[in-house]
Amino acid sequence: MTWYIRGDIFTGEGFERGYIGFKDGRIVEHNSGTPSGRTVAEGYIVPCFVNAHTHIGDSFIRKKNIDLPRDVVELVAPPHGLKHKMLREASEDEIIDGMIGSIDVMIKSGVSHFCDFRENGIDGIHMLKKALDGKKIFSIILSRPQKSEYDKKEIEILLENSDGIGLSSISDWEYPEIKKIAEHTRRKKKIFALHGSEAVREDIDLILDLKPSFLIHMIKATESDLIRARENNIPVVVCPRSNAFFGLKPDIKLMRQTGVDIMLGTDNAMLSPPNVLDELKYLKNMCREFSLKELLNMITYIPRKALNLDYNILGVNSLADFVVLDKKSLKPVYISYLETK
Ligand SMILES: [Zn+2]
């Protein structure tokens, strides 16, 4: 039996009024007009979301309800930041339980793909894979070495077991070491990404010489830094709720003016749950200039392109991977993979 959803279908370029018919997990019709069968939901029809930046390994810390320091270096900078100390002291089960909680939050909120910056080398990759067991979600795992140095063998193993490398920032590294890792990752045609200019401005030339697939934060980036990123087709992932925790605020209007591609991430799961739609709503309140089309692109087509994911997603024969949003509240009223139809 074919089921239908109708409303404004989001194409990335804008919205098309119409309907989608789906059957056994696949889209079988995509048309304008009125569907011939039962409509199960109505609203904005949007591809499932991509959360472009998470660290779900620290989810367990949120449950502890402790007063975390509101300073980037004190809390999250490797290796001495409090989070890394807590990760070292926690048991594997505790970390994995926290990850499972965050994965469930994402699944229930319409996130079909998330890009996790995995700490703790190969062990960190294995923990995430255990947490993902049997879950209806796709992960893009960007791993990192145990220590802030290049070890050819270790990188080899990490790249064999993950989608690429995701590092903290050039300030935490001896530059020649990070350069070797970036080059090694590129030779293997995997993703290389890193945090940039989060609490202090970092040298954009040194960052761009690493040829990253995308950058995280860029809060302290200047207009010319952002233009350089755009000219090099490097999107920026913004995580405004995590930034706010540290008293930081990305210059989102400037980013918009420079035309750099923006994606959304939820950053450390110990700070906010990885519901990327909540991040979108937060950003919407921060910057009223963004149209709904611009906002939705940040969690759908732009990250899909940057992460080499399936791009033709609401057409006939594609997987029925969509969310229907209420047009007023933007709350999901139907998430395809949560239904049995
Ligand atoms: Zn991060």
Question: CB neighbours of 152 closer than 8 A, spacing ≥ 6?
Answer: 184
Asked if residue 104 and residue 146 are part of one domain, the reply reads yes
Asked if residue 38 and residue 148 are part of one domain, the reply reads no
Distance 189 CA to ligand 1 centre (A): 22
Asked if residue 74 and residue 43 are part of one domain, the reply reads no
Q: SS3 of 204, please?
A: helix
Distance 267 CA to ligand 1 centre (A): 5
Distance 224 CA to ligand 1 centre (A): 23
Q: Which of 91-105, 262-276, 306-320 has the lowest mean pLDDT?
A: 306-320
For 168-172, what is the mean pLDDT? 94
Distance 259 CA to ligand 1 centre (A): 22
This model's pTM is above 0.85: yes
Asked if residue 40 and residue 178 are part of one domain, the reply reads no
Distance 89 CA to ligand 1 centre (A): 21
Distance 202 CA to ligand 1 centre (A): 16
What pLDDT shows up at residue 210?
A: 98
Distance 300 CA to ligand 1 centre (A): 19
Asked if residue 317 and residue 285 are part of one domain, the reply reads no
Distance 53 CA to ligand 1 centre (A): 7
β partners of residue 22: 3, 27
For 319-325, what is the mean pLDDT? 95
Query: Which one-letter amino acid corresponds to residue 204?
Result: I
Distance 237 CA to ligand 1 centre (A): 9
Q: Phi and psi of 118, rounded to 5°?
A: -90, 120
Asked if residue 78 and residue 32 are part of one domain, the reply reads no
Q: pLDDT-derived band of residue 340, with 50, 70 and 90 as boundaries?
A: low
pLDDT in tens, 179-230: 999 999 999 999 999 999 999 999 999 999 999 999 999 999 999 999 999 9
Distance 243 CA to ligand 1 centre (A): 10
**CATH number of the domain residue 151 falls in:** 3.20.20.140
What letters, b where the CB count within 10 A reaches 16 and e where it falls short, cover 61-79? bbeeeeebeeebeebbbbe
Distance 55 CA to ligand 1 centre (A): 6
Question: CB neighbours of 228 closer than 8 A, spacing ≥ 6?
Answer: 204, 208
Distance 288 CA to ligand 1 centre (A): 25
Asked if residue 131 and residue 13 are part of one domain, the reply reads no
Domain count, the chain: 2
Distance 10 CA to ligand 1 centre (A): 29
Asked if residue 43 and residue 54 are part of one domain, the reply reads no
For 301-309, what is the mean pLDDT? 95
Distance 229 CA to ligand 1 centre (A): 18
Distance 281 CA to ligand 1 centre (A): 20
Q: Whole domain around residue 7: which residue ranges?
A: 3-47+313-338
Asked if residue 180 and residue 280 are part of one domain, the reply reads yes
Distance 158 CA to ligand 1 centre (A): 19
Asked if residue 237 and residue 141 are part of one domain, the reply reads yes
Q: In angstroms, rounded to a whole number, what is the distance separating the alpha carbons of residues 69 and 88?
A: 18
Asked if residue 138 and residue 62 are part of one domain, the reply reads yes
Q: Where are the beta strands (DSSP E) in the chain?
A: 3-10, 15-23, 26-31, 39-47, 49-55, 111-117, 138-143, 164-167, 191-196, 214-217, 236-238, 262-264, 267-268, 322-325, 332-335
**CATH number of the domain residue 28 falls in:** 2.30.40.10
- For residue 341, pLDDT beyond 80: no
Asked if residue 278 and residue 183 are part of one domain, the reply reads yes
- For residue 313, pLDDT beyond 90: no
pLDDT in tens, 89-141: 999 999 999 999 999 999 999 999 999 999 999 999 999 999 999 999 999 99
Distance 145 CA to ligand 1 centre (A): 15
Peptide bond into 176 cis (omega under 30): no
Distance 216 CA to ligand 1 centre (A): 7
35 backbone φψ class: left, alpha, beta (φ>0; ψ -120 to 50): beta
Does residue 158 contact residue 165 with C-beta atoms inside 8 Å?
yes
Distance 241 CA to ligand 1 centre (A): 12
